[in-house]
Structure 1
Amino acid sequence: MIRTPVIVGVGEITHREKDPALGLEPLVLMAQALRAAATDAGIAATAVDSLDVVCEHSWPYDDVCGRLSAWLEMMPRHRAYAPAGGESPVRLIHEAALRIARGESDVAVVVGAEAGHTVAAARKVRLALPWTPRDPNARLLKGSDLCHPVAVAHGVTTPTTVYPFYENATLAAWGQTPREAMADAAALWSRCSEVAEQNPHAWSRQRFSPDDVATPSDRNRLIAWPYTLRQVANPLVNMGAAVLLTHAAHARALGIPEHRMVPVLGGARANEARDFLARPDYRGSTAQDAVLSALMERAGPFDLQELYSCFPVVPKMARRTLRLDPAAPTTATGGLSFFGAPLNNYMTHAAAALVRALRERPGQRALLYGQGEYVTKHHALVLGRGTPFLDDEPAAQQAADATRGPAPDLVLDHVGDAVLETFTVVYDRDGHPEAGVVIALTPGGQRLMARVPPDDSATLATLTGLDRSPVGRRGRTAPAPDSLLRWTFEP
């Protein structure tokens, strides 16, 4: 018997309470979202035999799967807590679908939640939250765990400081001026805000014009060139989401109408090197290209898509691989800046939004594409009507590896000429430059990282000029007292 996995229930909780004393802990948000998904499906939560919990950051527990199962009186045979990664909900839904197809599960749930807003507000007023105790041994993944020590020394180990390297490299590769690329990103993000405005689960339901997005101001400070605050993900939210799956025959036996079943047709996955300085270049991602191209070939084109949106460069790269019109919708959810960024769990909300959209559009297909770490982990699924291709072969990874060139060797002590490969400028909370950080190539093809101090206004002005990208320009490195290289442009 063919067991076609279908999503039959979705649930979302957005708790906008500003008073931290009244905030709900992540475990409560998970339970509420899971109950909502079960109600949406018309299936009792106690029927769940497979439970995957998305890695939670704001208040980590010692046994979240066990605690959640006990709260909801579930006895799932499969219980797993996922490693961190923005793509992980997509992977978990894919893996749950594969278990259902193999006959290892009948009712599976993927659930996650964050209470970042409440935790931050409580910390600010020194309020001890009366929640389930945190795991005292929990160790949360940090940027310094993922990055080369030279990147740590330069202070570029957070998503807000790493993704600009891709933004500035891709715009030059695509032949855009910085001004053109910034206008493109601002228009894209403005459209995301329009979607969030219409989404009742969004944290911010305010529409922003392209100028609102791109123009620095007191409420929209520069973060890392060229991104402003409104172009980066907002993790200070209280949100939970759950997706419930079964197989079509079981759903029919339970009386679930066909139009409420959203089939999971198949997916693809691939990774880049975890250390971003160990990649061939920053003009794209072979892993992203391989994943999206594989699904385009198997099931495209798509009627709807959710393209991961932590920073504008991600959907801008993805839409080129998918051959989408620049004005094509890239989100059904609203994006991580406006809908909100419950850290690893955004794509669970995105899956819920696509399921609702597909229920209203019988016969259509949607692409759910997530990304983890720093353009590192890529996973995508096809949802909707069509021919299933539920395999988990590593074909996309093999394709990415076959097309990926060698990464330049990294040098730490080069002094002399080099060519700018990419860069960013990091700003303080008052909008003043803290430093420029460049990645460059030596005449021998080796890679280096160097710094521009905040008092070198001429070099910073060249980096942030709007009418000409500095990528490809020659410069020089010299040693500095802090043992980091200093960068200046040739006259």
Structure 2
Amino acid sequence: MSARTPVLIGGGQVTYRGPPLDSPELSPAGFAAEAARRALADAGVRPEQVDRIAAVRMTADNAAPGPSAFPRAVARRIGARPREAIYGHLGGQSPQAFVNECAEALHAGACDMALIVAAEATGLERAARRAGIALDWPEPADGDCDDRGPGDLRVHPVEARHGLYVPVIVYSLIEHALRARLGRSPEAHLRAMAALFAGFSRVAATNPHAQFPVARSAGFLATESAENYRVSDPYLKWLVAQDAVNQGAAVLMTTSARADALGIPQDKRVYLHGYAAMADVPLIERPDMGASRPLAIAARAALDMAGWTIGQVGLVDIYSCFPCAVSAACDALGLAAEDGARLTVTGGLPYFGGAGNGYSLFAIAEMIARLRARPGAKGMVTANGGFLSKQAVGLYAAAPPPDWRPAPTIAERLERVPVDAAPGGTGTIETFTIAHGKATPPRAIVIGRTASGARFAASGEAAGLLGCDPIGRKMRIETGEKISGFTVI
């Protein structure tokens, strides 16, 4: 094993479930700093030994061009003065992507001790607004920061014109496309989603770090109620990621030689055996809108790097913002999308909590603990950003890899479906959703194919789609100045 083999040596998590208070500790930087302290204590490392800090982009900064003081503010709170501070792109792929990037930097000698942090306090912000409490979270910080900005959203101009940048809307389109491919009725698919996610909730109910630690039955999850209201078609509230969380996570990485010098015991070490990342084309251009070809490619590349098969992986955390994200991942990985309890180590984004772009850092921190407890096991974390748009995969084990080398770049090209930005005539509905606003009438959005085979998007009144399964039905497309409308034939 090389002296510069990267190794994960510490993990920390913190979750706050109390009332809103105007305290600097109850803030994103406060939660990230506390998680970092726990990761450092877990490894027995002093803050001044950290020479790189990488912070996952907060939800509040998703549209912010930067620069941000957040990474340096976290470092200041814990007493670290790292040479490098990085603030990443938006997207749930970021935590695993940062592990991959830091592993390469450690191997190349670009840094010796890397700290990755993520945090959100969206729950406190919303509760404070309701209670009329003003929160003041100034974060003075010194030093430069590599603020990489939001990054590429992977959204087609036609999608943007039709408002297809809201996650619950876009994932509803993905969900119905997947349902249609599986040949399920809307009712059967709702039951399948509920059965899958009931298993996730059972894991969250036993996780002390979960924001919503309640085991919810499949019957509850499949039934519309005041507590489980409809947010879009086909989703009810407790079938989607819950972002009103107050959570922080941190992971500490170094090299095997540095770990040896610091006297870190072998049973505290977890290694990255394989990794890969790949981005997809915009949803409207994908041949199968209910699948993730990049995840299949990235997972295969990571498994090849590790020399593993998927059958050898005993611990898995599948990114679970929406049921289709889990089902598409299982399709890509060759896993059964049935018992959700076998597909997560945290409880998933709807029940553990959907900490913005940072959820998978909690999964990685939890994977470290699980693999220490089961040193012969192998683990996988999948991290998903955008709308199944950006995929990152990590393979972990307590046993060291024999000869660690950086992963090769994936060069595989993806097929694209042509898009008609100004469609006319008739088309066929491939997928749809109905958005249910609290103060607005339901509105339908569809993606379909024109007679020539090109894709189009359209939006209009939901009346023509209510009470039926419109996938496969013909429609008349009405091109407007900005968006296309439709009438079901």
TM over 0.5: yes
Per the alignment, do residues 190 and 70 of structure 1 end up closer, same or farther by CA in structure 2, a change over 3 Å counting?
same
Q: Distance in 1 between matches of 2:465 and 2:352?
A: 36
Matches within 5 A, 1:40-439: 40-58=42-60, 62-132=68-138, 147-273=155-281, 275-297=282-304, 298-301=307-310, 302-328=313-339, 329-384=342-397, 385=399, 386-387=401-402, 389-395=404-410, 398-399=411-412, 401=413, 404-415=414-425, 417-429=426-438, 434-439=442-447
Q: Distance in 1 between matches of 2:442 and 2:10?
A: 47
Q: Is the 8 A contact 2:423 2:477 kept in 1?
A: no
2:27 paired residue number: 25
1:11 paired residue number: 12
How many angstroms does 1:139 deviate by? 12
- The residue type paired with residue 208 of structure 2 is P
Q: Is the 8 A contact 1:57 1:140 kept in 2?
A: no
How many angstroms does 1:2 deviate by? 3.5
How many angstroms does 1:156 deviate by? 3.2
Per the alignment, do residues 339 and 421 of structure 1 end up closer, same or farther by CA in structure 2, a change over 3 Å counting?
same
How many angstroms does 1:392 deviate by? 3.2
Q: Distance in 1 between matches of 2:265 and 2:151?
A: 45
5+ residue gaps, structure 1, are: 464-469
Post-superposition Cα deviations, 1:1-58, rounded to whole Å, max 9, x if no partner, equal 4422111110111111222435711111111111100000111121111111111234
Secondary structure of the 1:223 match is coil
Per the alignment, do residues 103 and 140 of structure 1 end up closer, same or farther by CA in structure 2, a change over 3 Å counting?
closer
- The residue type paired with residue 450 of structure 2 is T
Per the alignment, do residues 483 and 283 of structure 1 end up closer, same or farther by CA in structure 2, a change over 3 Å counting?
closer
TM-score by length of 1: 0.89
Q: Is the 8 A contact 1:279 1:408 kept in 2?
A: no
Post-superposition Cα deviations, 1:310-351, rounded to whole Å, max 9, x if no partner, equal 111011111122221333511101111111111011111010
Per the alignment, do residues 157 and 27 of structure 1 end up closer, same or farther by CA in structure 2, a change over 3 Å counting?
same
Q: Is the 8 A contact 1:265 1:388 kept in 2?
A: no
How many angstroms does 1:172 deviate by? 1.6
Secondary structure of the 2:468 match is helix
Per the alignment, do residues 283 and 483 of structure 1 end up closer, same or farther by CA in structure 2, a change over 3 Å counting?
closer
Per the alignment, do residues 441 and 100 of structure 1 end up closer, same or farther by CA in structure 2, a change over 3 Å counting?
same
Of residues 117-126 and 316-325 in structure 1, the stretch that sits farther from structure 2 once superposed is 117-126
Secondary structure of the 1:39 match is helix
Secondary structure of the 1:352 match is helix
- The residue type paired with residue 22 of structure 2 is A
Q: Distance in 2 between matches of 1:487 and 1:270?
A: 37
Q: Distance in 2 between matches of 1:75 and 1:481?
A: 53
Secondary structure of the 1:299 match is coil
Q: Distance in 1 between matches of 2:79 and 2:288?
A: 50
Q: Percent identity?
A: 30
- The residue type paired with residue 171 of structure 2 is Y
Q: Distance in 1 between matches of 2:286 and 2:105?
A: 34
Post-superposition Cα deviations, 1:180-217, rounded to whole Å, max 9, x if no partner, equal 32222111111110110111000011000111112111
How many angstroms does 1:472 deviate by? 2.7
Counterpart check, 1:484 vs 2:472: no
Q: Is the 8 A contact 1:3 1:247 kept in 2?
A: yes
- The residue type paired with residue 73 of structure 2 is R
- The residue type paired with residue 206 of structure 1 is V
How many angstroms does 1:229 deviate by? 0.6
Pairwise CA RMSD:
2.6
1:467 paired residue number: none
Post-superposition Cα deviations, 1:441-470, rounded to whole Å, max 9, x if no partner, equal 11111222223414x2x532123xxxxxx4
Of residues 98-107 and 331-340 in structure 1, the stretch that sits farther from structure 2 once superposed is 98-107
Q: Distance in 2 between matches of 1:459 and 1:321?
A: 31
Of residues 183-192 and 194-203 in structure 1, the stretch that sits farther from structure 2 once superposed is 183-192
- The residue type paired with residue 75 of structure 2 is S
How many angstroms does 1:64 deviate by? 1.9
Q: Distance in 2 between matches of 1:389 and 1:165?
A: 40
Per the alignment, do residues 478 and 119 of structure 1 end up closer, same or farther by CA in structure 2, a change over 3 Å counting?
same
Q: Distance in 1 between matches of 2:316 and 2:165?
A: 29
- The residue type paired with residue 47 of structure 2 is A
Per the alignment, do residues 134 and 344 of structure 1 end up closer, same or farther by CA in structure 2, a change over 3 Å counting?
farther
Q: Is the 8 A contact 1:82 1:88 kept in 2?
A: yes
Count of aligned pairs between the two proteins: 470
How many angstroms does 1:150 deviate by? 4.3
Q: Distance in 2 between matches of 1:374 and 1:289?
A: 15
How many angstroms does 1:140 deviate by? 8.5
How many angstroms does 1:306 deviate by? 0.8
Q: Distance in 1 between matches of 2:181 and 2:222?
A: 21
Q: Is the 8 A contact 2:317 2:343 kept in 1?
A: yes
Q: Is the 8 A contact 1:299 1:382 kept in 2?
A: no
- The residue type paired with residue 415 of structure 2 is G
- The residue type paired with residue 437 of structure 2 is D
5+ residue gaps, structure 2, are: 142-146
How many angstroms does 1:100 deviate by? 1.5
Q: Is the 8 A contact 1:11 1:35 kept in 2?
A: yes
How many angstroms does 1:263 deviate by? 0.7
Secondary structure of the 1:439 match is strand
Secondary structure of the 1:422 match is strand
Q: Distance in 1 between matches of 2:92 and 2:109?
A: 28
Q: Distance in 2 between matches of 1:442 and 1:474?
A: 10
Secondary structure of the 1:21 match is coil
How many angstroms does 1:260 deviate by? 1.5
- The residue type paired with residue 423 of structure 1 is F
